[in-house]
Amino acid sequence: MPLPSEMRFVDLPTFGGPEVMTIGRKPLPTLNPGEILVRVEAAGVNRPDVAQRQGTYPPPKDASPILGLEVAGEVVDVAPGVTEFAIGNKVCGLANGGGYAEYCALPAGQALRFPNGYDAVRAAALPETFFTVWANLFQMAGLTEGESVLIHGGSSGIGTTAIQLARAFGATVYTTAGSKEKCEACETLGAKRAINYKQEDFAEVIKAETGQGVDIILDMIGAAYLEKNLASLARDGCLSIIAFLGGAVADKINLAPIMVKRLTVTGSTMRPRTAEEKRAIRDDLLSQVWPLLDEGTVAPVIYKEFSFDDVIAAHRLLETSDHIGKIMLKLA
């Protein structure tokens, strides 16, 4: 079946609120070496998409300016030299951009097969959070069996993924969330203790629960939590920062715990990583995490699906933070 000359996509003619997004038409993306063309059946809605829409998270120069960092669908074309995927394969993957469209050019090294029994919506809910959690919590912070971890934002897409993976690999999990319902959901997923940060001081709870603090903290808040995060880490602990929802600049912070407790503070963003780095993360996921998805030990938490034409409503919901898990777009 020949491919169409044009596709529908979410256009961003200007930066601003969700209402600035419109549905437009443009030619299909041209494949670069090492890429596959995916007919998109579902795409994830994520915080970086909101930041890009607002103008605070520009795409890399060589990336598609179209929103969307994770997709799932059918391979309909492959660039010369690509051998690991063929036309007709069902794949999900971490896109460098372009996910909010009917067709997306996806680096083959960032694509993964559907886990057993998965449809496109469930598969598209995996890449962005699983790449991020694996890279920051396991590769960089080095979480291992028997250690303890505090995961902030436990009811988010990142949080629900991190809780499950940490438990699956034998860690004790603590988390923060903003309501009773969200805390209960986190504990159902495997957290030993979910802390309602609106009612409790998480640093005091961690001290009471552990005595010495946790080994690792996965943080998406940033400056607003920095001092309490340092206080909540055990000796030789690691703070891994993946976002700055509470600000990027911290004033008058006591840094002494870093020296006294020999702490490590690290962080990263996924989008600027090289193709080789992303492929290495993909390969780890395939060998160590995909078997857990195949057997159902770990699974994405999907809060709500929206049609492609309802992308504005999907972004509005994400910005309320009322959801537990992932928000998805489903294409016809």
Taking only the tens place, the pLDDT of each residue in 89-135 is 999 999 999 999 999 999 999 999 999 999 999 999 999 999 999 99
**Residue 18 tokens, joined:** 């969700």
Q: Which phi and psi (to 5°) does residue 106 adopt?
A: -120, 125
Strand ranges, E, within 124-247: 148-151, 172-177, 193-196, 214-219, 233-241
Q: Which phi and psi (to 5°) does residue 281 adopt?
A: -65, -45
Q: What is the pLDDT of residue 246?
A: 87
**Residue 17 tokens, joined:** 């609120």
Q: What does the alpha-carbon distance between residue 113 and residue 117 come to, in Å, rounded to a whole number?
A: 11
Q: What is the pLDDT of residue 156?
A: 97
Q: What is the pLDDT of residue 112?
A: 98
332: three-class secondary structure by DSSP? coil
Q: What is the pLDDT of residue 332?
A: 74
Q: What is the pLDDT of residue 172?
A: 98
- 14 touches 45 (CB < 8 A): no
Residues in the chain: 332
Q: What is the pLDDT of residue 253?
A: 86
**What are the angstrom distances between the C-alpha of 67 and each of 49, 62, 63?**
6, 14, 10
Of the candidates 218, 227, 220, the one whose C-alpha atom is nearest the C-alpha of residue 258 is 227
265: three-class secondary structure by DSSP? strand
Q: What is the DSSP letter of 115?
A: P
Q: What is the pLDDT of residue 82?
A: 96
Tell me which residues of the chain have a pLDDT lower than 50: none
- 35 touches 105 (CB < 8 A): yes
Q: What does the alpha-carbon distance between residue 133 and residue 20 come to, in Å, rounded to a whole number?
A: 30
Q: Which domains does the chain possess? A: 6-126+271-330 (3.90.180.10), 130-267 (3.40.50.720)
Q: What is the pLDDT of residue 206?
A: 98
Q: What does the alpha-carbon distance between residue 93 and residue 99 come to, in Å, rounded to a whole number?
A: 10
